Amino acid sequence: MIIDARDVSWVRADRTILHHVDWQIQKGEYWSLVGLNGSGKTTLLKMINGYIWPTSGSLSVLNKPFGSYDLRELRKKIGWVSSALSERIRPADDPESIVLSGRFASIGLYDSVSPDECEKAQALLNRLGCSSFAGRAFGLLSQGEKQRVLIARALMADPELLILDEPCNGLDLFAREQLLSLISRLAHSAEAPSLIFVTHHVEEILPCFEHTLLLKAGTVFKSGKTGEVMTPEVMTDFYDHRVSVQRRSGRLHVDLCVHG
């Protein structure tokens, strides 16, 4: 079991942010997590990564129940790619040192590394199409290039779970499709970890993400097989607005129904 959340709630300053969340992810499953801004996605991700604890309920991540395992060690087995992480990277750092820092789950490289680790970092940069800018400072990279470096960093520690937290934010159409193509190749590789793809843009969800959890106002609105979750009826209720759902080039697209 990768994630086993049962009746999980989180309360802050008398405000309930997560309400009785149940979510189970089996090893090898690929999930999308969909929610509008303010739905509780970030809070749920922080909890999965062990930065906050459930106020009530039980949570186990990578078969490690919270309360009986060192969460600092747990975080080393989870790759989390997010805009918050990108903002913490020093602009002058080069891609290789950033990727190597993933081995230690640190921001910045402070530990000595072996030739084998350097070779692995270079192989990851090559695999993710970073060779052309491998020596350039992080602050000079485009948003799409930064995301590739951060995904390579996340893979450096051979994580059992990789969380891609709105990885397409800030990307133009071409950079978005290039990154999604890379994620698709990663998902279809033999060594891919379990994946969670977080977004509020349904059209970004690749066919490989066969399961979806809809989070609304801190509650699980619906979860299950993507095709069964993302029906016009369910998505209309989810958005509180009538929508249509169509499949184009293997991906679902949600469009607002405008009344004449």
State how far the Cα of 49 lies from the Cα of 108, in Å rounded to an integer. 19
Where do the domains of the chain lie?
3-226
- Phi/psi of residue 196, nearest 5 degrees: -125, 125
CATH 3.40.50.300 fits 3-226, yes or no: yes
Tens-digit pLDDT profile for residues 132-177 = 998 899 999 999 999 999 999 999 989 999 999 999 998 999 999 9
Instruction: Give the Å distances, CA to CA, from 209 to 16, 61, 105, 110.
Output: 29, 20, 26, 36
Q: What confidence score (pLDDT) does residue 204 get? A: 96
Q: What confidence score (pLDDT) does residue 110 get? A: 67
Q: What confidence score (pLDDT) does residue 249 get? A: 87
Q: Which of 40-54, 68-82, 244-258 comes out lowest in average pLDDT?
A: 68-82
Tens-digit pLDDT profile for residues 23-46 = 999 999 999 999 988 899 999 999
Q: Provide the phi-psi class of 49: left if phi over 0, else alpha when psi is between -120 and 50, else beta.
A: alpha
